[in-house]
């Protein structure tokens, strides 16, 4: 059953006329209590026998020898609604206390000094006993906490707020929440409890059917999202101090933010395909100051562990903070969090529009630069710490922890691909300054890119979007590219690109020729090795062959020898083709350089000296 207490035994004797309450006991009223605009015509003895404050006030009028006294209690917590319940209690009339009115009654009883000195089982002790019973139930505790907003300062002084938060935090961290009465289901939320038509009492049990036991670790997300920010923040700090998993805390914060941060909710609805501008515009938005305060508080509550909060959510918070003009520490906090897990970002989320009046480019390149700098700081610290550790391999050899091959380079490689994609998106911007482009591209270390084809493609994007670039500026961009790390397709394109600096073209052709020479030398080495193996195998086969089985063994040896000869012939053909390709590239290089100067001049520019 619901948590409910009935005080008194008499039937209803109070009646309301307009804005005045009368007590129909047959005796004329000798005291009038005014609470705001509501008046109560009552009798002195029932009031002074239960309340120390009313006894003192009535005693002052008695000393003045006034038959009818008028008391004003405009500062009474809970106002006329609370005093009506207290007046009924003083007269012994049945009073129903529940989770919705217990706080104002408790605070009003404290204000009126309704202690045990004025009768055993007075209102303070009875409301305290009822509160202790309520704290055993999830939904009742939540309802009590929500009702504290009406008399917050008095409820804070009586520690009702802190007791509610501790009760809720204990139940949220419990392994089995059903032990504390079933919470509000995520489907209905508190709205179903507050609805009188729903037939649901304050402990979450319906009068006609039982609610389902909650499932999943996020059963409390929706319920606590009804709390105001200052109470929700205290609840989050309470569950954090009790060891709640950071993933759950982050999930609750995300749920709360999506529900109360209007800009974030609108962005989410638009991304999900809800382009109904009329429905969005009809929603009344809170003031920007409240939204800004909400955003800054949420960012301060987010767990710092990497990967706990989704990166796309952090980026949406960052964009919203720019719109709301949040303080610099909030934005810096978000940029650092995103930088820590930049390898989890997708390109679409990184395209942050520029805000403010001094917009130079379409996207905020400075913000991405700061995020990337934070990532590189973490990457540098990680690489230093891993280089100092030692790992023993399967053979018992001690190797460095950073010798993990491609696995250790995966995050930085993913970030390098991400930044190359971002640079490709911003390169067509006519307002993009070369210095910003070059600075952002240079942050990525050389080892992070397995191939430099992306840098070459970025150069082509810039050339098309910025045809006014000078030769020196183009050469600065080309210096970001390692000619030895271009694919064959990219090298072929470079050799045919007349708009590139001559120095770059010659370097690419030189390294391609050097690569071919190395391949040819390797093929010759393999060919000679196979010839030696074939000769040794043939001699060994002749030495072991007897006269009696010469026929059969001869057939097998002849077949094996023919197969090895065929393999060697194929290798020699391939080597011949490589030699022809190398010769052709050399001729093309000579034709290309013939119009630009002699070979000595080219190699002198490249830094080579003839021997």
Whether residue 530 is contained in a domain is answered as: no
pLDDT score of 415 more than 80: yes
225 and 140 share one domain: no
Whether 284 shows a pLDDT value over 80: the answer reads no
pLDDT surpassing 60 at residue 293: yes
pTM for the model stands at 0.71
Confidence of residue 429 (pLDDT cuts 50, 70, 90): confident
Residue 20 maps to a domain: yes
More confident residue, 303 or 397: 303
Q: Is residue 539 part of a domain?
A: no
Helix axes 229-241, 246-260, angle to 10 degrees: 170
Looking at 158, 184, 208, the residue that finishes a domain is: 158
Do 153 and 11 fall within a single domain?
A: yes
Rounded mean pLDDT, 197-222: 51
Domain total in the chain: 2
Give the pLDDT confidence of 116-156 residue by residue, as tens digits.
Answer: 999 899 999 999 999 999 999 999 999 999 999 999 999 99
Residue 10 domain-assigned?
A: yes
The contacts of residue 286 (CB under 8 Å, 6+ apart) are 262
Confidence tier at 282 by pLDDT (50, 70, 90): very low
Structure tokens at 268: 């989410």
Residue keyed to tokens 């009465």: 181
- Is residue 79 pLDDT above 80, yes or no? yes
Task: Confirm whether 150 is domain-assigned.
Answer: yes
pLDDT reported for residue 383: 73
Same domain, yes or no: 10 and 134? yes
Q: Are residues 148 and 42 in the same domain?
A: yes
More confident residue, 12 or 306: 306
Q: What is the pLDDT of residue 187?
A: 37
Tell me the CATH number at 15: 3.30.710.10
Give me the pLDDT at residue 15, please: 87
17 and 143 both lie in a single domain: yes
63: in domain: yes
Do 46 and 141 belong to one domain?
Answer: yes
The predicted model gives 274-287 an average pLDDT of: 49
For CA atoms 551, 554, 559, 562, give the dihedral sign: negative
Percent of the chain with pLDDT over 90: 40
Q: Assign 574 a pLDDT band (cuts: 50, 70, 90).
A: low
Q: What is the pLDDT of residue 543?
A: 44
Q: What is the DSSP letter of 377?
A: H
Same domain, 106 and 35: yes
Q: Which of 307, 325, 343 is the last residue of a domain?
A: 325
* Spatial separation of the C-alpha atoms in residues 577 and 570, rounded to whole Å: 11
Provide the residue count of the chain: 611
Q: Which domain holds residue 91?
A: 4-158
pLDDT value of residue 62: 77
Residues 6+ positions from 64 with CB-CB distance below 8 Å: none
Q: Do 94 and 229 fall into the same domain?
A: no
Q: Is the pLDDT confidence value at 458 over 80?
A: no
Winning range, highest mean pLDDT, from 184-188, 197-201, 373-377: 373-377
Pair 139, 224 in one domain: no
- The yes-or-no verdict on residue 370 having pLDDT over 80 is yes
Q: What confidence category does residue 17 fall into, taking pLDDT thresholds of 50, 70 and 90?
A: confident
Average pLDDT over residues 305-327: 94
Domain end residue (candidates: 137, 158, 179): 158
Whole-number pLDDT of residue 119 = 86
Range 78-90 average pLDDT: 94
Q: Given this model, what pLDDT does residue 281 score?
A: 38
The pLDDT, as a whole number, for residue 467 is: 56
Residue 464 has pLDDT above 60, yes or no: no
**Rounded Cα–Cα distance for residues 493 and 500 (Å):** 11
Predicted confidence (pLDDT) at residue 82 exceeds the cutoff of 70: yes
Q: Quick one: 151 and 233 in the same domain?
A: no
Q: Is residue 442 part of a domain?
A: no
Strongest mean pLDDT among 200-204, 435-439, 480-484: 435-439
- For residues 225 and 482, the model is more confident at 225
Q: φ, ψ for residue 121 (rounded to 5)?
A: 70, 35
Closest C-alpha to 391, from 379, 400, 383: 400
- Angle at the Cα of 158 from the Cα atoms of 153 and 159, rounded to 5 degrees: 95
Q: What is the pLDDT of residue 216?
A: 73
Mean pLDDT of the chain, nearest integer? 74
40 and 153 in a single domain? The answer is yes
Which comes out higher in pLDDT, residue 528 or 230? Answer: 230
Phi, psi of 294 (to 5 degrees): -60, -45
Q: From CA 278, how far away is CA 256, in angstroms rounded? A: 24
pLDDT reported for residue 174: 85
User: Which pLDDT score is estimated for 463?
Assistant: 54
Where is pLDDT greater, at 505 or 331?
Answer: 331
554 found inside a domain: no
Q: Output the pLDDT for position 430.
A: 76
**Confidence (pLDDT) at 315:** 96
- Per-residue 3-state assignment (H helix, E strand, C coil) for 316-337: HHHHHHHHHCCCHHHHHHHHHH
152 & 223 share domain: no
Identify which of 72-81, 398-407, 535-544 has the greatest average pLDDT: 72-81
């Amino acid at each position: 059953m619901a948590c409910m207490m009935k005080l008194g035994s008499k039937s209803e004797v109070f009646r309301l006329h307009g804005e005045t309450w009368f007590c129909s006991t047959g005796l004329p009223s000798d005291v009038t209590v005014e609470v705001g605009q509501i008046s109560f015509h009552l009798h002195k003895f029932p009031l002074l026998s239960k309340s120390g404050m009313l006894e003192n006030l009535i005693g002052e009028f008695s000393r003045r020898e006034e038959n009818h006294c008028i008391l004003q209690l405009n500062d009474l917590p809970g106002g006329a609604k609370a005093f009506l319940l207290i007046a009924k209690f003083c007269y012994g009339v049945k009073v129903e206390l529940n989770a919705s009115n217990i706080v104002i009654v408790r605070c009003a009883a404290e204000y009126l000094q309704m202690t045990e000195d004025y009768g055993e089982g007075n209102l303070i002790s009875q409301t305290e006993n009822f509160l202790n019973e309520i704290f055993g139930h999830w939904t009742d505790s939540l309802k009590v906490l929500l009702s504290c907003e009406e008399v917050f300062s008095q409820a804070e002084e009586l520690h009702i707020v802190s007791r509610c938060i501790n009760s809720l935090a204990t139940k949220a961290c419990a392994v089995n929440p059903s032990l504390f009465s079933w919470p509000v289901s995520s489907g209905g939320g508190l709205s179903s409890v507050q609805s009188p038509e729903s037939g649901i009492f304050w402990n979450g049990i319906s009068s006609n059917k039982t609610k389902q036991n909650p499932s999943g670790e996020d059963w409390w997300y929706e319920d606590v999202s009804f709390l105001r920010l200052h109470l929700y923040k205290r609840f989050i700090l309470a569950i954090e101090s009790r060891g709640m998993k950071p993933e759950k805390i982050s999930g609750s914060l995300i749920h709360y933010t999506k529900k109360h941060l209007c800009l974030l909710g609108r962005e989410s609805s638009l991304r999900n395909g809800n382009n109904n501008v009329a429905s969005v515009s009809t929603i009344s938005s809170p003031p920007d100051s409240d939204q800004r305060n909400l955003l800054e508080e949420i960012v301060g509550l987010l767990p710092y562990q990497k990967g706990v909060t989704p990166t796309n959510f952090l980026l949406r918070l960052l964009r919203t903070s720019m719109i709301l003009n949040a303080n610099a520490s909030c934005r810096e906090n978000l940029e650092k969090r995103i930088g820590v897990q930049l390898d989890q970002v997708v390109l679409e989320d990184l395209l942050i529009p520029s805000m403010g009046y001094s917009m130079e480019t379409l996207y905020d390149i400075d913000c991405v630069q700061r995020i990337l700098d934070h990532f590189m700081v973490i990457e540098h610290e990680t690489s230093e710490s891993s280089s100092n550790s030692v790992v023993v391999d399967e053979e018992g050899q001690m190797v460095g922890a950073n010798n993990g091959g491609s696995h250790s380079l995966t995050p930085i490689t993913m970030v390098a691909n991400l930044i190359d994609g971002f640079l490709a998106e911003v390169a067509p911007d006519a307002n993009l300054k070369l210095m910003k482009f070059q600075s952002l591209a240079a942050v990525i270390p050389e080892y992070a890119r397995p191939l430099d084809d992306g840098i070459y493609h970025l150069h082509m994007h810039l050339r098309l979007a910025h045809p006014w670039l000078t030769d020196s500026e183009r050469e600065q961009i080309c210096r970001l590219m390692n000619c030895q790390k271009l694919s064959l397709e990219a090298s072929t394109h470079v050799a045919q690109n007349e708009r590139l600096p001559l120095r770059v073209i010659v370097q690419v052709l030189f390294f391609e020729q050097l690569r071919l020479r190395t391949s040819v030398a390797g093929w010759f080495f393999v060919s000679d090795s196979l010839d030696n193996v074939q000769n040794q195998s043939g001699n060994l086969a002749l030495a072991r062959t007897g006269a009696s089985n010469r026929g059969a063994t001869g057939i097998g040896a002849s077949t094996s020898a023919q197969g090895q000869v065929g393999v060697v012939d194929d290798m020699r053909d391939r080597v011949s083709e490589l030699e022809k390709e190398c010769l052709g590239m050399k001729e093309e290089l000579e034709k290309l350089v013939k119009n630009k100067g002699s070979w000595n001049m080219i190699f002198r520019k490249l830094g080579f000296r003839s021997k």
